[in-house]
Amino acid sequence: MIVTTLRARLASGAMPLALLLTNGAAGAQPAQTAPRRAAPPAKPSAAPAAIGGVVISRQAVTDATVRAVYTKAKWRAVWSDADVAALNTALGDRSRHGLDHVAFLPDLPADAAPADIDVARTRVALAYAGALARGRVDPATLHQVYTLPRPSVDLATGLVAAIARHKVDDWLESLAPQDADYRLLSDAYRVFSEKALTTPAGPAPLEAPAQTGAAALIRVGTRDPRVATIVEQLVESGYLLTPGPVATPTLAQSASTIAGLQPATPSSAPVYTQAIADAMKGLQTDYGIAADGIVGPETLKVLNLGPGDRARALAVALERRRWLERTPPATRIDVNTAASQLRYYRDGVLVDQRKVIVGEPGRETPALSSPIYRLVANPTWTVPKSIQNGEMANVDDAYLQEHNMVLRDGWIVQQPGPSNALGLVKFDMANDQAIYLHDTSAPGLFDRSQRHLSHGCVRVEDAIGFAQMLADDQGVTEAWQTAQASGEMQFVPLPRRIPVRLLYENVYVGDAGNVAFRTDPYGWNDPVAEQLGFERSAARRAEARDIDIGP
């Protein structure tokens, strides 16, 4: 057996995948591959005589999907030279899907029998097909709650048909998401992967200066060549939304004193402004650093997340996209819990988006699919026992009265009103997790960049306006306005349920078509990345602070 030797040579790029598959064992090519070039169409040809004559042992195949392939093939070998070449082409291009760190290798000796080689190729093809069609990782194994519907694909039937048409590579490519966002994420993955090859240790522009102490810090008024890169990263990460021009000194300014510094010499170094510092505070808050806006060693570590870190996050983003159904409901609400953002689509068109507040780390908003079926005007809030026996364990009657709460049958219930933790509207959703969208009595929290602050439910910015929009779309405007004006809790059923998807996407395509990066507040990227062949990240996670007791 020389499996270990083959694996080592393959990982180092010493043995091409095509050679290995053709000569007896299927495997994977080096991690980084060149962009795919259009290959001439394979000429339909019959399989070599030896292929059709190779019988596959029924006892040797135990996997149900592999057995389904050979059952359809009447337990004969299926792989011709043309189809092997097509499989090699597809695998050689798998970096387009962020799967180039996954080795689709069978455990075969170099002198394996033709039947074993054929079965190994089938296993490799099905494994790669499954990764493209539904994801390499099963999200249900990572989360206690995961109810987002996943694609359902008959891989055995598809593979047999693709081999019969000599279109294995085309079939494999058709299994991945075909939307523009997936392509943009794919392109970005390749860009950052290539950058990671030249700067594997991280970006050089933000190296720590030679000075130490206060002189090494970047404060408001500091001129430093690294400021341009800092601004670029803050904009790309969504912390600095309107950067404006980066201030650079003129010859006249070069002799002036800025913020108590010595007069600057003529230079093109940009100025670290108050606006940049304010944006930096948002990033620092997300990563648990003292939010003072000053760029010191700890902040530099975050800013120095290199192209390899971003490639890793993009690979995870591509994987999460493969988990999802290819055609989502045309009218739906998508809540991105990683970015604390809501998007409302009507008939396939984005018509509204707004900020949300979602579960804090430790009380994560789960990844689920659940429709809104009614609006609740002036809701009451029945405090969950976990909160009643936790944060509210020692409250007295004065506290209950101050917060418009009463005790009913052992439960604390907050009465309707503007001080209610649910605000003035609740969007009831059909699920068994007690997760729903709602208003809030603390709208100031939407001004924060880090909005992972709730106990798991989703607080919606300007929820009253959003409820009005949904009521108008559903033709229940009058019923909704009447319920609102009553001051009492009233229910307004929606004629058509609105699907809601609670997604976790810390890398996604923004409104301007740019790839946006966010923190990994729940630490959910690591388990996915590791199963995609990446090392565990050393990046800091967002750290939320308790703000209130609301849901």
| 79 pLDDT higher than 90 | yes
pLDDT value of residue 512: 81
CATH assignment at residue 240: 1.10.101.10
For residue 466, give the H/E element and its range.
helix 463-474
For residues 19 and 124, membership in a common domain is answered with: yes
pLDDT above 90 as % of the chain: 64
Is residue 345's pLDDT more than 50?
Answer: yes
Query: Looking at the structure, do residues 266 and 407 belong to the same domain, yes or no?
Result: no
Residues 297, 149, single domain; the answer is: no
- 226 lies in the same domain as 331: no
On the question of pLDDT at 283 being above 70, the answer is yes
Mean pLDDT of 137-162: 97
Confidence of residue 216 (pLDDT cuts 50, 70, 90): confident
Greater model confidence, 546 or 168: 168
Given a cut of 50, whether residue 34 has pLDDT beyond it is no
- Return the residue matching tokens 């891989």: 155
Q: Is residue 188 in some structural domain?
A: no
Instruction: State the average pLDDT over residues 172-181.
Output: 97
The better pLDDT of the pair 437, 511 is held by 437
Mean pLDDT, all residues of the chain: 83
Residues 425 and 502 occupy one common structural domain: yes
Grade residue 29 by pLDDT with cuts at 50, 70 and 90: very low
The predicted pLDDT at position 208 comes to 59
Note whether residue 468 is domain-resident: yes
pLDDT tens, residue by residue, 398-449: 999 999 999 999 999 999 999 999 999 999 999 999 999 999 999 999 988 7
DSSP-assigned states of every residue in 335-392: EETTTTEEEEEETTEEEEEEEEEEEPTTSPPPB-EEEEEEEEES--EE--HHHHTTTT
Is the same domain home to 388 and 493? yes
> Which residue, 441, 204, 369, is CA-closest to 300?
204
Q: What is the mean pLDDT of residues 145-154?
A: 97
Q: How confident is the model at residue 25 (pLDDT cuts 50, 70, 90)?
A: very low
Q: How confident is the model at residue 233 (pLDDT cuts 50, 70, 90)?
A: confident
DSSP, collapsed to helix, strand or coil, labels residue 493 as strand
| Mean pLDDT value across residues 340-361 | 96
The count of domains in the chain is 3
Q: Is the pLDDT of residue 50 over 60?
A: no
Kindly state whether residue 294 falls inside one of the protein's structural domains: yes
Among 132-141, 203-212, 256-265, the least confident range? 256-265
| Least confident window among 253-257, 324-328, 341-345, 519-523 | 253-257
Mean local confidence (pLDDT), 39-53: 43
> Would the pLDDT of 289 be above 80?
no
Token pair of 156 as six digits: 């055995």
Which has the closest alpha carbon to 121: 158, 170, 69?
69
Domain with 361 in it: what CATH number? 2.40.440.10
Q: Angle at which helices 114-134 and 307-323 pack, to 10 degrees?
A: 90
Q: Is the domain of 337 the same as that of 404? A: yes
- Which pLDDT score, from 0 to 100, does residue 435 have? 96
Residue 249 confidence (pLDDT) above 70? no
Output the pLDDT for position 22. Answer: 40
Domain assignment of residue 536, yes or no: no
- Shared domain for 133 and 85, answered yes or no, is yes
Torsion sign over Cα 297, 339, 455, 319: negative
Quote the tokens at residue 219: 């404060």
Handedness of CA 383, 387, 389, 394 (dihedral sign): negative
User: Do both 331 and 299 map to the same domain?
Assistant: no
Domain range spanning residue 381? Answer: 327-531
Lowest mean pLDDT among 6-15, 176-185, 367-376, 533-542: 6-15
The answer to whether residues 355 and 454 touch, using CB atoms and an 8 Å cutoff, is no
**435 and 286 assigned to the same domain:** no
**Average pLDDT of the segment spanning 352-366:** 96
In this predicted structure, the answer to whether residue 258 has a pLDDT above a threshold of 70 is: no
Tens of pLDDT, residue by residue over 528-546, are: 999 999 987 755 555 555 5
Task: Identify the domain boundary among 131, 158, 176.
Answer: 176
Is 191 domain-assigned? no
Q: Which run of H or E residues covers position 438?
A: strand 437-438
* Confidence at 210, pLDDT banded by 50, 70, 90: low
Looking at the chain, the whole-number percentage of residues with pLDDT higher than 70 is 79
Confidence of residue 267 (pLDDT cuts 50, 70, 90): low
Can you tell me the mean pLDDT for 276-296?
A: 84
